[in-house]
Amino acid sequence: MKDKIVAVILARGGSKGIKNKNIIKINKKPLIFWSIKACLDSKKIKSTWVSSDSKKILNLAKKFGANTIKRPKLISKDNSSSEKAWLHAINIINKNEKIDTVVGIQPTSPLRPKNSIDRALTYYSIKKLDSLFTAEKISDHFIWKKAKKKLQANYNYKKRPMRQRIKNNFLENGSFYIFNSKKFLKEKCRLFGKIGYFLMKKIYSFQIDEKEDIQLINSLNKYF
């Protein structure tokens, strides 16, 4: 029996950084359109859901072909975690269909390689993972921080290493997460158990958080 896989896109109406962020125009379409499209293009995702406290976003989601979940205001605040919204959505969906795997999509990441969700789901299944995050491979760059009013480096600046010799790390890029639905309801955390990652190139790791990001993303329209 195949796993029942659903996508849940969290798209709150409010945003501190950018007003109405999830419906601003990116490459001539509302931002949320690109995540809905990526899910509907998937051959593995059975159904796509948008959870929001905003009627405008929910109406757009229906127009673009997604199912909708009205999210309570109590879990739609600036300090409300994505986990709370996913828990609410999964419980709603489970009333109609028992689901096995959730793809938690972040609409602030409109750029995704073609078939990336399906390829990540295949990897998730083959490796028998409990949860997975998308990531960008980065080097542990020359980072400085302030400690007791002094600058401290994370490397020996007197013996500066070659960039190529710096160890690689994996930075969550926030594009999407995959996790076992039943275990998530117990853990109440998006990453748990046997965790894996799915690599994406830097070009697909840009997120829209600040106003300057809009101009940057729109300049990358050939990657949509």
How many angstroms separate the CA atoms of 100 and 102, rounded? Answer: 7
66 exposure class (CB count in 10 Å sphere: 0-12, 13-18, 19+): buried
**Residue appearing with tokens 């993972």:** 129
Nearest Cα neighbor of 217 from 141, 107, 119, 122 is: 107
Query: Which tokens sit at 196?
Result: 């894996």
How many angstroms separate the CA atoms of 86 and 203, rounded? Answer: 27
What is the 3-state secondary structure of 145-199? EEECCEEEECCCHHHCCCHHHCCEEEEEEEEEEEEEHHHHHHHCCCCCCCEEEEE
User: By the 8 A CB rule, do 8 and 117 touch?
Assistant: no
Burial 15-31 (b: 16+ CB within 10 A, else e): beebeebbbbebbebbb
How many angstroms separate the CA atoms of 64 and 60, rounded? Answer: 6
Q: Which residues are known to be catalytic?
A: 160
